[in-house]
Structure 1
Amino acid sequence: MPADNDSHDPPGLVAATGAAPAFSPLYQQIKALILNGLQQGEWKPGEVIPSEFELAARYKVSQGTVRKAIDELAAGHLLVRRQGRGTFVATHAEQQVQYRFLRLHPDQGAADGEGPAQRDFVDCRRGRAPADVARALGLRTGDPVLQSRRLLRFGGVPTILEDLWLPGGPFKGLTAERLMDYHGPMYALFESEFGVRMVRADEKIRAVAPDAAQARLLQVPQATPLLSVERIAYTYNDVPMELRRGLYRTDTHHYRNQLN
């Protein structure tokens, strides 16, 4: 029989757990259970998950069903298959994952040829969420948030100016000093010290002109057209964890996205 034929698995088995509707394909129900394990921290970023055989025995389904669930999670960059070693929880500390959400590329040469961005935090403080920020992060107006502004330079040239908001609860204890002292990817810091992993993001893009302060920080005339990118980043189960509003210089860079 085909290894990935869901019809040979017990019908409704996973649905009885309440993890997913009974009409979901069985591999999607297994995917939801694995996602729940990731969200609950059963397997942490960088750790190996149980084998397909072990997961099949655990959930009482075929290995083919488990394989289809893992294939989708790997395609979504939540898991990483390593030949001969197993399947691991993806982490933003890995080189190939660090800049997955950064779509700005130099016009000449490869993006990694520039080296890592140099980051300067212009401001960082705790405050109360205004209505638009609260709405984006699924909070109530006035809930505590951490707000920061940072400038990213490539080759010494200020290229991206970002305003970021994080919900106060999950990032309790995160200080401006910790952000400024940490030299690795910010999302890796969120993983390792706060147990928050960003797994996907939604973006809205438009062209804008900077205000006087933004133009000064980016070292461009105020009439310069910039790319405005508003991103909401989510952790598991579509929980919003970060609002980021960035202004991108595109005189020597371009925004690149690969569509499948």
Structure 2
Amino acid sequence: MTETIATFSPLYQQIKALILGSLQAGEWKPGEAIPSENDLATRFKVSQGTVRKAIDELASENLLVRRQGKGTFVATHHEDRVHFRFLRLVPDNGEPHYPKSTILDCKRLRAPAEIARLLDLKSGDAVIQIERILYFSSEATVYEEIWLPGTTFKGLSVERLVEWRGPMYALFETEFGTHMVRATERLRAVAADELSAKHLGVEQNTPLLAVERVSYTYGERPVEVRKAVYLTASHHYLNELN
């Protein structure tokens, strides 16, 4: 297959797009090293400096990871540093830490209209719905519903989720070939309804933080909708702005 470079954007951006295309096609798997800058420069017939600038930008976007003396690797959700890109709940006291979770349910449904729209599906297409509770320091802190495209996550079950020991995104990456590369979130203050109060062990109308996330894989393809409520009595949502 012949690789071509468009002429309407800066050269390093064109190289970045080609590298992204290789990532999307699975040429280099999460956690694997990509070819050296020199090899990529030869492959794309550009200077090593142009390749370096493209890789620098991909690294700043957390798609690639540079390791001193070892090379450049595809980012993976198995790395601790990646976990906290998508987990912004931080304890008021102490260091950020990954929570333990309890899976309440995992079932296959027909997509409600809103979920279908957010996942770029047709209303009624198959989706997977997961319900779980996240515990920070043994305290129920997050109750969430997670919606996934049924065709992409075919075979996902409660048993598989319970067996998995690690972040859910690492499971999606390893067993379903879906690597989350970015997400958008919307936040608002809400009062606990009957269901969230029950799962979080609080009174109805307790103040909560509602977070709706849409996560994307390569090619800007939405592959997850997450609707969660956070109990922030001893935690806060941290976002670093650059």
Structure 1 residue corresponding to 2:74, chosen from 72, 82, 89: 89
CA–CA distance in structure 2, aligned partners of residues 37 and 194 of structure 1: 18
> Which AA in structure 2 matches 1:45?
P
User: Aligned residue for 1:174?
Assistant: 156
User: Aligned residue for 2:100?
Assistant: 118
CA–CA distance in structure 1, aligned partners of residues 177 and 106 of structure 2: 21
How far did 1:77 drift?
0.6
SS of 2:30 mapped into structure 1: coil
How far did 1:135 drift?
0.3
> Which AA in structure 2 matches 1:61?
V
CA–CA distance in structure 2, aligned partners of residues 87 and 101 of structure 1: 22
Deviations 1:39-92 (A, max 9, x none): 111000000000000000000111111001000100011000011110000100
User: Aligned residue for 1:142?
Assistant: 124
User: Aligned residue for 2:11?
Assistant: 26
Query: Larger Cα Rg: Structure 1 or Structure 2?
Result: 1
User: Aligned residue for 2:188?
Assistant: 206
CA–CA distance in structure 2, aligned partners of residues 179 and 151 of structure 1: 13
CA–CA distance in structure 1, aligned partners of residues 177 and 130 of structure 2: 20
CA–CA distance in structure 2, aligned partners of residues 128 and 237 of structure 1: 25
User: Aligned residue for 1:7?
Assistant: none
Structure 1 residue corresponding to 2:5, chosen from 14, 19, 38: 14
Q: CA RMSD in A?
A: 0.9
Identity %: 61
User: Aligned residue for 1:76?
Assistant: 61
Structure 1 unaligned blocks of 5 or more: 1-12, 16-21
How far did 1:99 drift?
2.5
Deviations 1:190-216 (A, max 9, x none): 111111000000000000112111101
Deviations 1:216-245 (A, max 9, x none): 110111111100000000001110000001
Using the size of structure 2 for normalisation, the TM-score is 0.97
Deviations 1:161-184 (A, max 9, x none): 010000011111212211121121
> Which AA in structure 2 matches 1:104?
L
User: Aligned residue for 1:224?
Assistant: 206
> Which AA in structure 2 matches 1:154?
F
CA–CA distance in structure 2, aligned partners of residues 223 and 85 of structure 1: 53
Using the size of structure 1 for normalisation, the TM-score is 0.90
SS of 1:150 mapped into structure 2: strand
CA–CA distance in structure 2, aligned partners of residues 69 and 63 of structure 1: 10
SS of 2:50 mapped into structure 1: helix
SS of 1:111 mapped into structure 2: coil
How far did 1:128 drift?
0.5
Structure 1: which 4+ aligned runs deviate by more than 4 Å?
A: none
Q: Does 1:67 align with 2:49?
A: no
